[in-house]
Amino acid sequence: MVPADLLEIAEALVPGARLDSARLADMGNMHHVVLLSGVAAVRITKRPSSAAEMPRRMAKLRAIAAAGLPFAVPEPLTPVTEFGERTAVAISWIGGDGLPEGVGDPAAFGQLFGALREAEITPELEAVLHVPRKYADGVGWAEILDGVVPELPLKWRDQVRRGVDTLLELDEVPPRLVHGDLGGPNVHFGEDGKLVGVLDWDLSTLYDPAVDAALVASWHGWDVLRGAVDDETYRRAHAWHHSVGAEHLHAVLAGKPLAHTGGFVGSVVAWLEESG
């Protein structure tokens, strides 16, 4: 059931759309998403900080959609609009569905990785996408991870420290288009198994393609990744994943201080405990 206030916003942005079949998807603590099947997805902020970020996120989508990728990318259909304390925007509908955990066609993901790797890095992309650095005045990923290690329980510190050291030993690679949250519900396939489109580019950067490879492996499985990438990318993906878990990398690659160090440490510890 979609709350009435969210339906009112969706109707204002997409007049004439049928609302009786609208569904609500949740994007963590940042956005509600009202899904108008076949028409649009309406993103509605939950908090002021998300509202401030919305124009930048839409600028990202416009630049990525213009990059000529061989699959669909959501594009803003309306201006970013204020509705009292909420901010909202309608973006284009992407058909198909994501795959369940542990399922994936290596050939299809190989094509996806190839498209991202070969995408032209245009001035428009460079203007809106962050390029992570190892060291960047306290917000480089190595600096952030160095600060996290002492906060971990003693039994995990050496393991994570070794993971960080392994990352530091990797050769630098030319930055490419990295989605940052690849796999699972964000990669949509049609009934014929062909890639339809990729959603949710909020965490996209210009960086090491092996970050996306690690994210795909953490959801779809390392056997899927093994058949989708070359040996070097596979090795680098392992290094990124086994540092603090692929799903946590966005927090250290964003070029910002950790908003909640305690919460980040807790999530990493839970991952370490589960993965053994």
Q: Which two structure tokens, joined as six digits, stand for 20?
A: 């009786």
pLDDT grade for 35, boundaries at 50, 70 and 90: very high
* Spatial separation of the C-alpha atoms in residues 207 and 217, rounded to whole Å: 18
pLDDT tens figures, 210-227: 999 999 999 999 999 999
Q: 246: which DSSP letter? A: G
Each residue's pLDDT tens digit, 153-172: 999 999 999 999 999 999 99
Contact status, residue 84 vs residue 173, Cβ threshold 8 Å:
no
Strand pairing partners for 87?
82
**pLDDT of 113-157, one tens digit each?**
999 999 999 999 999 999 999 999 999 999 999 999 999 999 999
pLDDT at residue 187, as a whole number? 98
Grade residue 183 by pLDDT with cuts at 50, 70 and 90: confident
Beta bridge partners of 198: 187
Domain ranges of the chain: 4-92, 106-275
> Which position has the token pair 């650095």?
133
Nearest to 213 by CA among 113, 88, 91: 113
pLDDT at residue 30 tops 80: yes
Percentage above 70 pLDDT, the chain: 99
| C-beta separation of 261 from 234 below 8 A | no
Would you tell me which CATH number, out of the four given (3.40.50.300, 3.40.50.720, 1.10.10.10, 3.90.1200.10), belongs to the domain 106-275? 3.90.1200.10
- Tens digit of pLDDT for each residue in 53-69? 999 999 999 999 999 99
* Residue in 268, 182, 175 with CA at minimum distance from that of residue 217: 182
pLDDT score of 29 more than 80? no
Q: Which residues contact 168 (CB under 8 A, 6 or more apart)?
A: 134, 142
Bridge-based pairing of strands 40-45 and 81-83 is unpaired
Are the C-beta atoms of 217 and 241 separated by less than 8 Å? Answer: yes
Average pLDDT over residues 233-260: 96
Question: Is residue 93 pLDDT above 80, yes or no?
Answer: yes
Q: Token pair 């509202």 is at which residue? A: 51
- Would you state the pLDDT for residue 50? 83
The predicted model scores a pTM of 0.95
* pLDDT at residue 276, rounded to an integer: 73
Residue 119: partners with Cβ closer than 8 Å, 6 or more residues away: 67, 68, 69, 176, 177
CATH 3.30.200.20 fits 4-92, yes or no: yes
**Which residues contact residue 29 at a Cβ distance below 8 angstroms, ignoring those fewer than 6 apart?**
46, 47
Helices H / strands E in the chain, number of each: 11, 9
Percent of the chain with pLDDT over 90: 92
